[in-house]
């Protein structure tokens, strides 16, 4: 298992001493779709957050049922490539991959597979 393009370090909880990283709690469907996204964009992507344990989630003020805590969500930074230089352009690629949820922010996109990939592009913000 695991991701072809993203290391455990990139995927695990980034809290300080709160847990063992929890990379094993990440939904394999999320990893598969993040790899697909990486392939479609055709260049390195940076994740600001993927898995987050309940303790660290509380520290950063995340909602208790956050998709990050459930292992379903990731925050992908806009890579600033010529062909993908805005959050909206990144969202276009996310849409092609078919994450269940895509949220556009000024730093990039939140994506998640809350329905295990069965509701592609259904939740949008």
Q: Which one of the spans 9-17, 28-36, 63-71, 102-110 is the region binding Zn ion (CB under 5 A)?
A: 9-17
Binding of Zn ion by 53 (CB under 5 A):
yes
Q: Which one of the spans 51-59, 63-71, 99-107, 117-125 is the region binding Zn ion (CB under 5 A)?
A: 51-59
Residue nearer to Zn ion on the CB measure, 13 or 23: 13
Binding of Zn ion by 13 (CB under 5 A):
yes
The strand pair at 101-105 and 108-112 is best described as: antiparallel
Write out the DSSP string of 25-76: GS-HHHHHHHHHHHHHHTS---EEES---HHHHHHTT--TT-TTTTT-EEEE
Residue nearer to Zn ion on the CB measure, 44 or 55: 55
Residues 6+ apart with CB under 8 A from 64: 54, 57, 58
Binding of Zn ion by 71 (CB under 5 A):
no
Give the interface with Zn ion as residue ranges (CB under 5 A).
13, 15, 18-19, 53, 56
């Amino acid at each position: 298992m695991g991701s072809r393009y993203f290391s455990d370090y990139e995927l695990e909880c980034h809290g300080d001493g709160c847990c063992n990283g929890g990379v094993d709690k990440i939904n394999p469907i999320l990893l598969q779709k993040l790899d697909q996204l990486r392939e479609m964009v055709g260049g390195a992507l940076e994740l600001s957050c993927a898995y987050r344990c309940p303790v660290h989630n509380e520290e950063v003020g995340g909602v208790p049922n956050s998709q990050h805590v459930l292992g379903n969500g990731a925050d992908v930074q806009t890579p600033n490539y010529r062909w993908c230089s805005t959050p909206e352009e990144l969202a276009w690629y996310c849409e092609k991959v078919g994450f269940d949820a895509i949220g556009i922010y000024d730093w990039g996109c939140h994506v998640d597979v809350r329905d295990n990939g069965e509701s592609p592009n259904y939740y949008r913000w």
